[in-house]
Amino acid sequence: MPTKKTVWSDLYTDLNTPVAEALREARVKPDKLPTMSDDEIMAIPGISDTGLEEIRSRYPADLSAEVAIKSDIEAQDSTTETQEVALKPANKRHLFKNGKAIREARSKVEANKTYPVLEAVKLVQANTITKFDATLTLHLNLLAGKEQVNRAELTFPYLAGSTKKVVIASDEVFAEIDKGIINFDILITTPQLMPKLAKYARILGPKGLMPNPKNGTITPDPEGKKKEFEAGKTVIKAEPKFPLMHVTVGKKSQKAEEVAANIMAVLEAVKTKNITKATLASTMSPGVKIQLS
């Protein structure tokens, strides 16, 4: 059976454009990221500390996968050969530098317990073992079927993660795209400019940047819509093939009350009746289940 060809432009549409492009150029597949150390990811050209943080928020390090390996130990007795079996995480960096911290963090979270939102936020912030200001992500398992919620629109009451760059379509923006320069996260346009934008669909579409009336980026009032997005307006979507949503809701350093308010805004927009499980986690922390009732 022939191997299925990887369509790189279809990968990493959930990441900001510069980070996604760096991973595509390096030909790193998504399933490899959890097994890579932070140093290995940072070695990819174009990946900064901020990029690493964003990658880990979507593709967390595999801290739990353990494999048994045999390591030879030099015999103390010339007549005796000794071998020992060691447990080694797939990510070596975490074994030697963070193993104890990971175990301590997990011990403070009850795996089968659901926590009130504010308590969950404080737990995650207190048990995040990164040196940088980690991103907090809310992971939602949705009811599957005909009634599944695939998208929701909301305005965060507080900053949720990094500020997104919003631009309005213009000849200057088109000229930059022609040069291969895409330095925005949201592109807004008027209906009149859509014919001009059509030729860029193959470039912007796979990156999730093509204006769309469903997410409000095609509008007769682009200036007003730009202000809305800059004020925290967000459209969140489920994964294309699975009833899952991943929503950035804040940072480790942020006030817990602010992150909790952002989470409540997400739950209100999606509706708890449509959610089977909600889990909060940071770039590197145990997942904490959130009470839905």
Tell me which residue of 289, 285, 5 sits closest to 124, measured CA to CA. 285
Has residue 66 been placed in a domain?
Answer: no
Position with higher pLDDT, 285 vs 167: 167
User: What CATH code is carried by the domain that includes residue 267?
Assistant: 3.30.190.20
What total number of domains does the chain contain? 3
The answer on 155 and 122 residing in a single domain is yes
| Residues 152 and 37 reside in one and the same domain | no
Output the domain CATH number for residue 177: 3.40.50.790
If asked whether residues 18 and 140 sit together in one domain, one would say: no
- Residue 76 in domain: no
Residue 72 lies in a domain: no
pLDDT at 256 (0 to 100): 95
Predicted pLDDT of residue 101: 67
pLDDT of residue 130: 74
Residues 179 and 281 both lie in one domain? no
The order of strands in the sheet holding 288-290 is: 114-115, 288-290, 275-282, 135-142, 244-251
Residues 150 and 241 in one domain: yes
Mean pLDDT score of the chain:
78
Helix (H) or strand (E) holding 281: strand 275-282
Does residue 124 register a pLDDT over 80? yes
Whole-angstrom distance, CA of residue 265 vs CA of residue 157? 8
**Structure pTM?**
0.59
CA dist 244 and 140 (Å) reads: 6
pLDDT at 148 over 70: yes
Helix axes 49-58, 17-25, angle to 10 degrees: 90
Same domain, 143 and 240: yes
pLDDT at 100: 66
Q: Note the pLDDT tens digit of each residue in 14-26.
A: 787 778 888 888 8
Q: Are residues 226 and 183 in the same domain?
A: yes
Whole-number percent of the chain with pLDDT over 90? 16
Q: Are residues 137 and 171 in the same domain?
A: no
* C-alpha separations of 275 from 22, 142, 235, 243, 244 in Å: 34, 4, 17, 10, 9
Identify whether residues 149 and 185 lie together within a single domain: no
Average pLDDT over residues 69-85: 36
Per the structure, the complete domain to which residue 136 belongs is given by 99-160+233-290
C-beta atoms surrounding 278 within 10 Å: 24
Domain boundary among 188, 210, 230: 230
| Average pLDDT rounded to a whole number, residues 240-252 | 86
Whether 242 and 266 map to the same domain: the answer is yes
Q: Are residues 19 and 156 in the same domain?
A: no
